[in-house]
Amino acid sequence: MEQPLTEEKRSFFVSTKTIEETISFSKLAFPMFFSQLALALIGLNSVVQAGNYSPDVLAGILMANSLWFPLFLGLGGIIFFVTPMVAQLYGANKMQEIGPLVRQAIWLVFPIVLLGVLLLSLGPSFLKLVGVDEGIIGYSKDYLSTFIFAIPAILLMQPLRSLSEGITKPVPIAIINFILLGLAIIGNYCFIFGNFGFPEMGARGAGLSAIIGTWTALAILIVYLRLSTNYKQTQFFSRFDWPSLSTIKEILKGGLPLAASNFIELSMFSGATLVLGSLGSQVVASHGIAINIGGLLFMVPLSIGMAAAVRVGNKVGERDFQAARYSSFYSLKFGGILALFNTLFLLLFAELVVSSIWPSDPGVIELAVILLMFAAFFQIPDSLAMCGMGSLRGYKDTVGPMIIMLVAYWLFALPFGYSLAVTDVWTIKLGAQGMWVGMCIGLVIASALMIWRLNYTTNRYLTIRYEN
């Protein structure tokens, strides 16, 4: 039986173990951070360029994204489970099994794409049903009519990302995402506004830019994986495989709860956007700006959670459950400390950041800054929830987090947010501020339950190890 790490417990912040863990997490988390940052900047770039073109176009794109993001992280989230699967195989030194696994994940992408496209085609009708302004719906349709062709490339990139990050090679993905960012900036500038001789396409131009950028990035990634020797042992390009029901079933077993978790989380933010859509384009714009700025800062705990999934998955694959537990709780501490800096940043610089993004409308600026104060409050609980979920993913525990998010976000966040925003059940209608109070409540509950679940799961694995 292994002995507890008493030395690390007595001097956590200065022990050799902590230094080693910080280095290991940093090697994974920093490239993952820049990778996610690039993706977030793509969204922020769309907000800035579309907002400078037209507030109504911006509102239309935001409404379209409120439908697309839950679908991507919901349906596409099934594929996200491949990352901890790869990580455990890598930790167990079963490199030759990684390539066949990723090939099966690619087969899963095709039905997911078809279902996603079908659901998105119903998006405008759904927006009309929930009372979104007809003008905004029109711009949403314009955007989706082109963006929908970028969806296959976006989803096909995910198994390849799982391959690279699962074997602790996150840097190439970060580089690819920054290439995608550059293409998005140039594409939006050309096609939204009609610069450099290109046609002025407004919302459709933003979608066309996404098509060009995503398919180009996918092609570059495939070529790199094929040429680099880092992936040769995985045997990804060694042969062609037809779908394997047993492997696909294994992916679905863990991927469906993970997909549901992602959908539940994103539906809270997207649901908030839909609720606020009835309050006008100015409120939607302020909400969208706050969401995107908060999303940029969220990349910090998200990257720690993603690193935890790989780090913990590697240790579980090695069957070193003591080290897996240590890494799990280290991720909470590491993520919590970094989230504190996010909180301080928002408290000190929120107005400066918002005014630099949207200088033309004082009303939008004022409301966005108020909403970012709520974002400052939930940075730490959001970080704890995300790092806890990432660590649990390393154990292939996806059902527990799904239930936790269902309770926290659908039973608390959305009902409280809706009632505070557009009804007078509790007090006067608070508008956007009420919606964000509800989100704060949900995130606090989620963080508490996620820590409890992590403690339960890690102890269960230690018991298994000690019994064996």
Query: pLDDT for 329-341, tens place per residue?
Result: 999 999 999 999 9
Global pTM?
0.80
More confident residue, 192 or 295: 192
Summary count for the chain: helices (H), strands (E)? 18, 0
Residue 7 has pLDDT above 50, yes or no: no
Res 449: pLDDT? 96
Cα dihedral 389, 77, 295, 181 in deg (nearest 10): 130
H/E segment holding residue 343: helix 321-357
Lowest mean pLDDT among 81-90, 191-200, 340-349, 426-435: 426-435
Query: pLDDT for 127-142, tens place per residue?
Result: 888 777 788 888 888 8
Res 64: pLDDT? 84
To 10 degrees, what angle do helices 203-227 and 16-53 make? 150
As a whole number, mean pLDDT of residues 201-211 equals 90
Lowest mean pLDDT among 132-141, 211-220, 360-369, 404-413: 360-369
Q: Is 14 exposed, middle or buried (0-12, 13-18, 19+ CB in 10 A)?
A: exposed
pLDDT tier at 360, thresholds 50, 70, 90? low
Rounded Cα distance, 82 and 437, in Å: 35
CB 100 within 8 A of CB 246: no
| Residue spans per domain, the chain | 6-467
Residue 3 has pLDDT above 60, yes or no: no
Res 435: pLDDT? 86
pLDDT tier at 23, thresholds 50, 70, 90? confident
pLDDT tier at 465, thresholds 50, 70, 90? low
